[in-house]
């Protein structure tokens, strides 16, 4: 968003509001939030603070959890996301149930 004009940013945020509002009205939006660009990397060797490296990992800027009857239907919901119109891509995955402990 930093390379866009104020009007472009405002229009994009309005698109996001309309998209998420539509999902909510249809009962398809479970939740989601934007993510900050930095974080921690945790490994057996320890934890280090590390910013997102787009060339190495790509950027996950946020997440949405939606209700859909299939992965295909969830992918159709993703096609309407404003991120697609801004040359972004969206990874669609099913949430796996936790195995019994």
Summarised one tens digit per residue, pLDDT across range 7-27 is 998 999 999 999 999 999 999
Summarised one tens digit per residue, pLDDT across range 45-88 is 888 887 666 555 567 788 999 999 999 999 999 999 998 888 88
Q: Which of 34, 87, 95, 86 is nearest to 60 (CA)?
A: 34
Which H or E element spans position 39? strand 38-43
**Burial tier of 89 (Cβ tally within 10 Å: 0-12, 13-18, 19+):** exposed
Cα dihedral 7, 66, 55, 84 sign: negative
């Amino acid at each position: 968003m930093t390379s866009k004009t104020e009007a472009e940013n405002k229009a994009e945020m309005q698109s996001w509001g309309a998209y998420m509002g539509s999902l909510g009205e249809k009962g398809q939006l479970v939740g989601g939030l934007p993510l900050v660009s930095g974080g921690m990397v945790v490994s057996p060797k320890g934890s280090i603070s590390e910013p997102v490296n787009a060339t190495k990992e790509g950027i996950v800027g946020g997440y949405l959890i939606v209700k859909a009857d299939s992965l295909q239907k969830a992918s159709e919901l993703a096609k309407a996301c404003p991120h697609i119109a801004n040359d972004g891509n969206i990874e669609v995955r099913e949430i796996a149930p936790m195995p019994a402990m």
